Amino acid sequence: MHRIEAYIRLGLIFVVIIGILYLPILFKLKKKGISPTRQASYIGLVCSIFLIVFATILLMPISFNSTHTLNIIPFNWNEIGLYQFVVEKIPNILLFIPFGFFIPAVYKSKRNIWKTMLIVFLTTFGIEFLQYFMGRSADIDDVITNFLGGLIGYAIFYGCNKLFVKKNVWKKFLKIEE
């Protein structure tokens, strides 16, 4: 659980720093007619992309000379126990939930589940591909859990869209013109 708490703390620190750094931009874009509510969707997408890149590529050491490992057997319970599953797989799911939520929030053309999930899949597959050639492991479990996180994020977006479709704040968040 310590690792999950560290990820959450790191994410919160990052969000606070981005929020402080973004304040001057917020006021400038507000003058141009882009509502702070809409800007929140952009900030959310940028933060989720940064966290994904940071947690999957930048946080771990790069070693082009080390042995590459490739796991293509999904959830091999003989090698991982419940504790390792919770510590390693749950953060992967949590990491991609905001990504699956903010893609359709920012891009109107990606509000279709298939388009959003294609982006999520290509992103997670690309990360695992890069990790393999950076001297780290590539794991089908990560692709599956990241994809699941993106799917949960999309489901949350879809639910919010159905629930708040008539609310002005949601319309501004999605930039829906009346």
pLDDT value, residue 161: 93
User: CA 154 to CA 146: how far, in whole Å?
Assistant: 12
pLDDT at 25: 74
The confidence score (pLDDT) of residue 135 equals: 72
Q: Per-residue confidence at 26, pLDDT binned at 50, 70, 90?
A: confident
CA distance 86 to 147: 16
List beta partners, residue 70: 138
**Residue-wise pLDDT tens digits, 97-150:** 999 999 999 999 999 999 999 999 999 999 988 888 777 777 888 999 999 999
Output the DSSP codes for 57-94: IISSPP-TTSPPEEE-STT-TTT--HHHHHHHHHHHHH
Q: What is the pTM of this model?
A: 0.80
List, in order, residues 6 or more apart from 40 with CB less than 8 Å away.
Answer: 173
Q: pLDDT tens for residues 39-91?
A: 888 888 888 888 888 777 766 655 555 666 767 777 776 666 777 777 778 88
Domain positions in the chain are 2-174
Q: How far is the C-alpha of 92 from the C-alpha of 131, rounded, in Å?
A: 15
- Residue 51 has a pLDDT of 82
